[in-house]
Amino acid sequence: MDQLPTHTTTPAGKERARALAIPLQGTPGPANAITDVDGVLVGYSTIIKGEGKLNGQGPVRTGVTAILPFGHDGVGVACAAGYHSFNGNGEMTGASWIEEAGSISLPILITNTHAVGPCHRGVIDWVARHKPEVANQWLLPVVAETWDGYLNDINGSHVTVDHAIAAIDNATSGRIEEGSVGGGTGMNCYAFKGGSGTASRIVDYGHRSYTVGVFLQANFGSRRELTIAGVPLGDQLADDNPMESYFRGGPTGAGSCIGIVATNAPLLPGQCKALARRAPLGLARTGTTGSHFSGDIFLGFSTANRDALNGRFPKGPASEDSYSHINFIPWGRMDDFYAAVVQATEEAVLNALLANSDMTGRDGNRTPALPHAKVLAALKARGAVTG
């Protein structure tokens, strides 16, 4: 049997959306990941230990994800950024400074709802250790979260500063794992096993091409909502849904989604925010209607115009050359970049679902993986997938 192209599987060989020939719009980058944006690295700390009932020591199904816009050496270098809260039942620290300065300069961390504190401290400790000149001034890390308390002992102090530091240290380029890794370890999506997912798109612009990459911590949606390739599948996949029984008619669409959008296209902070605003449209293609109990928060950044928006305290008095300069795509030519975000977000959700397996966690709570064969059969029956 011929080996599948690398963009259809994760490094561990888990199938992604393209392995099922699901029709998807747009042209992906080489890794079909946020790391296709040159310089962007992703790292994980994954914590899986213990079985059975909660006892103050677990079971633990959680972790930390780190995204570095300019790699390790570029920590402290500013890039244009914009933040959007589609639904504010969640947290992303540093948002006030992003709104004020239009930039970020530190690693972005994603974890569970009750582990924001050690991750915030972990960024500070990493910067103080490796970039002391940056830590001499104020640090306002970006740490975002989604809730994994169905599978994880979320009230235990299992995520530590060391896990946050390890996620930063582990950050790498190229193909990355998806599914139950990093901050996505204990997450659920459409009452199937969810978690970490990514995808990218190439945008042709005049004589050159740019890349748009999306990374999601997918932890949202009710089973009945699930839609793939425009085909509603929730009713056909309604069986084996222990989460619905657990919540007994409660808000099964709860949980949240954090989305990070990266591009090497030169953009203004407001344009980065505009990209972030398009991510919910990609989520909607997979069926969600945006539960009140789902905190859906998105951040967009551009790696172009390196350090032009540096917000640190300047040295010396202003002079004739004390100016920054920035190039940007004209607003009237942004539509192809918006489309790329929507397309990559939709695929990132599917990758988070497909690159996964069943997981059992706290109190024996179980989440099944999305059944590939049933999905493929349903899509073929509706003519969405051929062959």
In three-state secondary structure terms, 231 is: strand
Q: Between vectors from CA 69 to CA 65 and to CA 74, what angle results, nearest 5°?
A: 115
Assess contact for 351 and 17: CB atoms under 8 A. yes
DSSP 8-state assignment for residue 29: -
Catalytic residues: 256, 294, 296
Show the tokens assigned to 76.
């402290």
Distances (CA, A) of 320 to 45, 149, 306, 317, 324: 47, 56, 21, 10, 11
Strands (E) across the chain are located at 41-49, 60-68, 79-87, 103-104, 108-112, 142-146, 188-189, 192-193, 195-205, 208-218, 227-228, 231-232, 257-263, 296-302, 359-360, 366-367
Show the tokens assigned to 209.
């091409």
